[in-house]
């Protein structure tokens, strides 16, 4: 039997004092608030049968997975497919860069693809494969995958049969949120969404990707 449910958990707030888009850049770990967010996310599942845990290789997701590992006595398995998409704006303040440097303008020519990074279709493909594999490898209980906003949103939109092109400002995937899926008759179906760290969202900085 595959996993009862697969939960996609977003990482907590990142320590980012300069306000750059950090993407895949090394060295961006959780802020103090981010650690508290991650703790709240794991605590919200107290008593549930979480039996498998995966995370993206980036520091912020590994740190966000740590409370889950401790609470449920699990090893964090790293899956490269859960990583943040590559992004041409990494390391810059996006709004400032677009105002002051025309060299960035061509990256906005095809927002439906998008032209600034990995294609939405590519993200959806690798993420759905990671979710399906996690479900198959979890023979009982529920699996948790700690990952990033855009990858989670691509799974949600593709599972619902919606266009992958979207306005990044309209993503329903806050810091440390949990989007839950079941595999039914070979199809991924979203069955829940929760924001266990909602009390900490006000004033949080959220600049992972476009």
**What ranges do the domains of the chain cover?**
5-200
Predicted local distance difference test score (pLDDT) of residue 156: 98
- Asked if residue 1 has pLDDT above 70, the reply is no
User: Of 164, 60, 77, whose CA–CA distance to 121 is shortest?
Assistant: 164
Tokens in use for 14? 């990142």
Characterise 47 by phi-psi region: left (phi > 0), alpha (psi -120 to 50), beta (else).
left
- Longest CA span, the chain: 55
Secondary structure class of 152 (helix, strand, coil): helix
The contacts of residue 160 (CB under 8 Å, 6+ apart) are 190
Confidence of residue 100 (pLDDT cuts 50, 70, 90): confident
Tokens 């912020």 found at: 60
Q: What is the pTM of this model?
A: 0.94
Predicted local distance difference test score (pLDDT) of residue 92: 86
Average pLDDT over residues 46-63: 98
As a whole number of angstroms, the distance between CA 63 and CA 29 comes to: 7
- pLDDT tens digits, 130-170: 999 999 999 899 999 999 999 999 999 999 999 999 998 89
Question: The domain 5-200: what is its CATH number?
Answer: 3.40.50.1240
């Amino acid at each position: 039997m595959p996993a009862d449910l697969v939960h996609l958990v977003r990482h907590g707030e990142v320590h980012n004092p300069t306000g750059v888009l950090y993407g895949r850049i090394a060295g961006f770990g959780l802020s103090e608030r981010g650690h508290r967010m991650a703790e709240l996310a794991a605590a919200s599942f107290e008593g549930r049968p979480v039996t498998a845990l995966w995370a993206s290789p980036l520091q912020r997701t590994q740190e966000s997975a740590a409370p889950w590992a401790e609470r449920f006595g699990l090893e964090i398995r790293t899956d490269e497919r859960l990583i943040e998409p590559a992004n041409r704006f990494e390391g810059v303040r996006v709004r400032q860069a677009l105002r002051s440097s025309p060299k960035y303008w061509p990256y906005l020519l095809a927002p439906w693809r998008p032209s600034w990074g990995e294609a939405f279709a590519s993200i959806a493909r690798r993420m759905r494969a990671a979710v399906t594999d996690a479900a198959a490898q979890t023979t009982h209980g529920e699996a948790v995958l700690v990952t990033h906003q855009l990858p989670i949103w691509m799974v949600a939109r593709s599972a619902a049969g919606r266009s992958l092109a979207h306005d990044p400002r309209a993503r329903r995937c806050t810091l440390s949120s949990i989007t839950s899926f079941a595999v039914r008759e070979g199809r991924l179906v979203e069955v829940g969404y929760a924001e266990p760290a909602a009390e900490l969202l006000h004033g949080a900085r959220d600049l992972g990707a476009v």
